[in-house]
Structure 1
Amino acid sequence: MRSAASLVVAGLILLAAPGTGNADPAADRQRSLANAWQELEGVIERYNAVRDDLRATDARLEQVNSRLGPLRTQVDAAQRETDAQAAALYRSGAVGSTAVLISAESPEAWMDQLAMLDQISRRRVGALKALKDAQAQLDAQLTELTTLQQRQRAQSAELGQRKAAIEAQLRRLGGSRTARAPSGALHDGYVPVFTADAAGQAVKFAFSQLGKVYQWGADGPNSYDCSGLTMAAWKTAGVVLPHNAARQKQTVKPITRAELRPGDLVFYYKDVSHVGIYIGDGRVIEAPRAGERISMRLIDYAPVVGYGRPL
């Protein structure tokens, strides 16, 4: 019994010992905050991709509609002309070979008239058919694009709702800075070399944006999100990048860390939900997250998953 009692007491002492089997609420909260911020950035980047897709779909719809209107007018006009010609030939009796034969001066003339009537008919009917075929193709494109547009709008709305839910979670955890003064490291005094090439222009632009406030979905000129900043930086050098970190990674030329040069892009996290622009000396400029300013950081401030060079 004494032995059993000793074991119980020893167990109670171990349970009561500091740091043994006890969760750390502050550490748990920080982990939850970090996970929520990363999830939010992933949602924002997916939203950017859907928004770009929706813009492209809207532009294609506008092109189809701009072609479809005049084409419908042409089809209607050609149909009226064909109907009018058929009615006129019927009323005149010229559609019958006997009438043509009687009015013809010779068998040769009769053959010529029949051939001419047949040619006129074929040409008009053929032209009308070509117009109707073109209209049918555009109508099919219109239906397909309209369906795609509706699906993309639904995806955008769903991502917006997901974003709002994560932001509510961040507020509950006390990690939302949207109502506070923006924070950020800005820069540590390092000034990159601004070369005269396209990469130098991109670096110079990114450096000039330090201190501006992050805003999700923004691509300038007063605020940016992460892929909006890199997109805008390289746009000044004449290079077009998508407004999405994962798509930027797919667009650029993959390089190794040893090959890094100022202007190259650095991608973060397994889902490629974040991107910064390398400026030399182990540093990147990046737009962090809501409530923070565009800042200069050491390249390994977050897990790196790849490097790329815009061309």
Structure 2
Amino acid sequence: MGEFELIRNFFAAAPCAQGGEGVALGIGDDCALLSVPAGEQLAISTDTLVAGVHFADPCDPFLLGQRALAVAASDLAAMGATPLAFTLALTLPHNDASWLQAFAHGLNLMAQQCALRLIGGDTTRGPLCLTLTVFGRVPTGQALTRGGAQVGDLLCVGGELGNGAGALPLVLGQRTAEPAIAQPLLDHYWSPKPQLALGQYLRNKASSALDISDGLLADCGHIAAASSVRLRVEREALPLSSALLAFLGQEGAREAALSGGDDYVLAFTLPPGELPGVLAAHGSVRVIGQVLAGQGVVLVDATGRDITPAHRGYQHFPETP
């Protein structure tokens, strides 16, 4: 099977590649064409996932297809964007029809859940690597950004933290657990649910936002830097799942929530007056701290004591002393 037959059989024929609202021209030409209504802006984000770095190799291709697109779509949620389309650049070590069929099935399932249309991409030969670019639309001036947090705002998250990091020992085969504990964690890791509806709801309400991918403390540092404020995180307020607590214990669960990454849950700052409406519309939201004058991120215990750890999250290229 050649490159173009591969594209035609596994991707161009998929339901998610059949066009839709906002897609004027999809797969088959030198470029795709997107239509954005007047008064709206195009939101664009690219994610690369490398075998052995971002996911175990080998792994289930169906689950990988789901995860790859969900991770990318989470960036649209963080900006409050409505999903439009995506492209896929796929580098493969060899042409395996059964692998491709399973991967395309998982990709298509997540694409339909996120209302994203596949509009093009590229295929090449080499070490397994996936690059996805997602496109969304947002009313002009209403995109959520990392800059804008104000002193006195509440620091909130969209739901439970640490489940993705908690699943990692299970994914890597380092530990086992009974299904009632393992499955919720594995489901979160392999099929994260981008908080697209929450992101769109927060337009004109939240003062800043991002999605948690590298760890709560590390990612909150981006908001603090972009907004020139200090974020105070209250350890006792972290929302932790029963499965995570059963698997890692309280201290391990807290560490996973604070610095583990792979949550793909929104973190955002919110004027206090907006909180009742947000909670009524999205009951999974939790307040975990507040915005203060100053800079950086501080973690405090129940007494208010500073217990900020040195390790705050994942970095591909750690800073050298």
Q: TM-score, normalised by structure 1?
A: 0.22
More strand, by proportion:
2
More helix, by proportion:
1
Q: Which of the two has higher C-alpha Rg?
A: 1
Q: TM-score, normalised by structure 2?
A: 0.22
